Amino acid sequence: ITYGAPRPDAPPGPMELFTASGRLFPVVVIACARTETLRNTLSSLLSAGASPADILVAQDGANSAVAAVVAEFGVMHKAKRPPLVPLNGAQHIARVYKFGLTRAFEDVFPDAPAVLVVEDDLVVSKDFFDYFSAVAPALERDDSLFVASAWNDNGFAAHADPGALRRTGWFPGLGWLLPRKLWETELHPQWPDGHWDHWMRSDEVARGRECVYPVVNRASHESEYGTFLDAWHDKRYFKPIVRQRSRFDWPSDAWRSVLRDAYEDRVRGLLAAAEHVSDVNAAVVGSALETTTPLALWFDFEENDDAPPGAADAWAPPPFVCVSEPFDLWHESRRADHRGVHEVVGAAGRPVLLVKAPVAYDSLRPDGLTPLARSECPSVTWEDLGKEG
């Protein structure tokens, strides 16, 4: 799908007008049976500036302890009836999402042009609402954008710029802005009966659109276990997330940096000015240098490439670990990437780009530079990464 040019000078849309009037986007909190994490979520939302009238807890089932926490905070409450037939975890989650979002848009917040969606194990930053107010205008002026999230899957760097924004083709979830128009015209009519987040990432739903996210997370995940979460993933990919602790003063034009054309110009400018390498060790050493010259590491292997002869057995991490491990990224290459590019900040502030060839930017790869191949990467097992079988 080809989208038209962004419209930076278009009049304000419904979301921008809503926040300009002093309103905060209302929040739908998806809950089931956890009380302490729900209490932490609600406390953080109120600390960030929400009033109880801005918050709806959509509860899966009728756990009385959860209902008591909701009553304690005085927020809005809708409880979904227990199902008549047994459901698996993905079905439970998908159905309570549909229930909560439908009730939010139709009954509880009928004048809201968008809602924020969080689960009952997230704690949000002081500028959580400020962030979404700052980026919402981009969604209204750029048809190649989809939603905005508070979450960076690779938000592990303590020295990152708190005002930096990125685009990704991977829907992050975990605290996200859902425009009413998107819900009513696209999502609600075909909402799935399981694995709703995978569905959001599918080509039929995303249709080539990207999501906005902050380099420094505006939410953190506070539960070690969940329907699809275990202790290893939590320790490795959730606990180390760096959440913005103080309120950040977002510029009024922050959204302009993620409009498609401006964003592409910035990425292409970094690659045009970069030192280019195809060796991981050279990239690691170079990333630590005190220089503003960008560094680009080129690689050429797919997420699902077969392991080369003699490599670890089928219970092996995806090939992306070859470049993700040295730079402390998720082992899944699509998370937080933009058209095959991951941006990293070196210890001394050097911009580093990990670039998948030959997808989007191969014309900027120097002649004669052969991208890193899967066969040049050492074999790595899940045991090497600390994961038990």
Task: List residues with catalytic annotation.
Answer: 197
* Phi and psi, residue 17, nearest 5°: -65, -35
d(CA 137, CA 259) in angstroms, rounded, equals 10
d(CA 189, CA 365) in angstroms, rounded, equals 43
Stated as kind and residue range, the H or E segment containing 176 is strand 176-179
DSSP structure string for 333-361: TTTT-BTTEEEEE-TTS-EEEEEETTSS-
Query: Quick one: DSSP state of residue 226?
Result: B
Evaluate whether 10 touches 40 at the Cβ level (below 8 Å). Answer: no
Evaluate whether 172 touches 213 at the Cβ level (below 8 Å). Answer: yes
Evaluate whether 282 touches 338 at the Cβ level (below 8 Å). Answer: no
d(CA 154, CA 215) in angstroms, rounded, equals 8
CA distances in angstroms from 341 to 280, 322, 324, 334, 335, listed in the order given = 15, 15, 12, 9, 10
Sign of the Cα pseudo-torsion (309, 311, 313, 319, in order): negative
Evaluate whether 116 touches 175 at the Cβ level (below 8 Å). Answer: yes
Instruction: Identify any residues that bridge with 55 across adjacent strands, giving them in sequence order.
Output: 27
d(CA 381, CA 142) in angstroms, rounded, equals 42
Evaluate whether 112 touches 50 at the Cβ level (below 8 Å). Answer: no
For the record, the structure tokens of 300 come out as 């050429």
Stated as kind and residue range, the H or E segment containing 92 is helix 89-103
For the record, the structure tokens of 356 come out as 């998948």
The count of C-alpha atoms lying within 13 angstroms of the C-alpha of 374, restricted to the half-sphere facing its C-beta, is: 16
The CB density around residue 313, as the number of other CB atoms within 10 Å, is: 8
